[in-house]
Structure 1
Amino acid sequence: MAQPHAPRPTDRLSLFNTAPVSAAEASLLACCGSRRWARRLTRHRPYPTVEALLAAADEAAYDLSGADLDEALADEVAPVFPPGTCPVACTALRAAHDVYVARFGHVFVACIDDDRSDEHSNLILDGIRARLGNTPEKERAVVVEELRRLTRARLVRLVT
């Protein structure tokens, strides 16, 4: 009996393009928690290439209203260190993140997919500490870009 093969990127994009609206929206909401963003991308299917989907996702991300961004941020989870991380580092992360949430009103968002996994702990903690000095307006701009980058990475995993 033949083993089922993993779908090729074009197969997965095709599956996304032909999925029922509710399934496509649910998949997109796992990438970005803005319902308006997910509906917009779903409405514009089919996408001929992954690059076309990513371009549409970027455009929709740049058009997020304040309420859309708040909705997307409310769906994000606080960063955590992997199991086995030094307890002191975990405590430092929780404390820094609590200060960040108190200052900005939402979880810390950063796309670190391009970085080595053994550096993630330091990048997250250093990122929180560095961005605590931002004004709320500057941090909002940083968060928009980080969420866009994070959403792109999630979309790539979804369709490739």
Structure 2
Amino acid sequence: MTRGPTLPAHPLPSLPKPLDAFNTAAAGEARALLLHCLHSPRWSDRLTAHRPYPDLDALLAAADEAAYDLSPADLSQALAGESLPELPEGIYSAAHMAWSAAHAAYEARFGHAFVIYLGDVPPDEGLDRILEAIRSRLANDPEEERVTAAEELRRLARGRLRLLLSGTAARTTSPNAPASGK
């Protein structure tokens, strides 16, 4: 997973607010920004077409609704765009090996990368949460996991949008948090 964007801690008064800039951006620019949040052209086209949004909450609600409407093919496309999350610095090799093995087992079972939203998890607990979730979700049947993965993608997209458009202080994201996939 890649790190999320860095936003200024205090936007300059002369710069437009991030949501205002999004609302007035060219359609191609808005779509490109949205594709960084969720790798679904259908989702990004829908959100782009319904601009302007009066506030961030309205955009997040529209993003949720569009994510719930993804077809199985859209979901597969979005999952294919996700990458393996980065592990926190200093993770010792045994943990890295366990993580790699668990992820490989998950991909072999379900045919796509593991996704999980960790925006509310302290960075030092991220690896444990990922390993716990992979182990738990390996017991899912494929349809149950498709539903779970779709929900995690929705949460990731929501977190990424919030980070990109809230205008809040820059922050470092935890593995698989609203920054990159899984």
Question: TM-score when scaled to structure 1?
Answer: 0.94
Relative distance call for 1:159 and 1:7 in structure 2 (3 A) is farther
The answer as to whether partners of 1:111 and 1:150 remain within 8 angstroms in 2 is yes
Per-residue CA deviation, residues 77-115 of structure 1 (Å, 9 max, x unaligned), is 112311210110001100110010000000000001011
Matched, 1:83 2:89: yes
Per-residue CA deviation, residues 60-87 of structure 1 (Å, 9 max, x unaligned), is 0000001100110011011231121011
Q: What is the distance in 1 between the residues matched to 2:54 and 2:81?
A: 29
Q: Structure 1: state its 5+ residue gaps.
A: none
- 1:116 is aligned to 122
Query: Of Structure 1 and Structure 2, which has the larger fraction of its residues in helix?
Result: 1
The match for 2:11 among 6, 30, 44 is: 6
- 1:32 is aligned to 38
Percent same amino acid at aligned positions?
A: 54
| Aligned alpha-carbon RMSD (Å) | 1.2
Partner of 1:30: helix, strand, or coil? helix
How far 1:158 sits from its partner (Å)?
Answer: 1.1
Q: Which has the higher contact order (CA 8 A, sep 6+)?
A: 2
Q: What is the distance in 2 between the residues matched to 1:19 and 1:42?
A: 10
The answer as to whether partners of 1:79 and 1:124 remain within 8 angstroms in 2 is no
Letter in structure 2 aligned against 1:30: H
- 2:26 is aligned to 20
Q: What is the distance in 2 between the residues matched to 1:158 and 1:146?
A: 18
The match for 2:78 among 72, 95, 116 is: 72
Matched, 1:130 2:140: no
- What stretches of structure 1 move > 2 A for 4+ residues in a row? none
